[in-house]
Amino acid sequence: MPLVPETIEIRLPKSKIAGNAIAIKWSNSRETAHSSFTLRMGCPCAACQKLHDPNPNVVRGPTGVSPRVEVISFDWVGNYALNFLFNDGHNSGIYNYNRILELDESTNGV
Ligand SMILES: [Zn+2]
pLDDT at residue 110 greater than cutoff 80: no
- Give the environment of ion ligand 1: residues with CB less than 5 A: 43, 45, 48, 92-93
Least confident of 13-17, 22-26, 73-77: 13-17
**Predicted local distance difference test score (pLDDT) of residue 15:** 83
Beta-strand runs (E) in 1-110:
5-11, 21-26, 31-35, 71-77, 81-86, 94-96
* Domain spans in the chain, listed from the N-terminal domain onward: 5-108
Q: Tell me if residue 14 falls in helix, strand or coil.
A: coil
Q: From ligand 1's centre to the CA of 72, what distance in Å?
A: 15
Q: From ligand 1's centre to the CA of 71, what distance in Å?
A: 13
pLDDT at residue 95 greater than cutoff 90: yes
Question: What torsion, rounded to 10 degrees, do the Cα atoms 88, 93, 33, 59 define?
Answer: -80
Which CATH architecture best describes the domain 5-108? 2-Layer Sandwich (3.30)
Q: From ligand 1's centre to the CA of 47, what distance in Å?
A: 6
pLDDT digits (tens, 9 = 90+) for 23-64: 999 999 999 999 999 999 999 999 999 999 999 999 999 999
Q: From ligand 1's centre to the CA of 25, what distance in Å?
A: 24
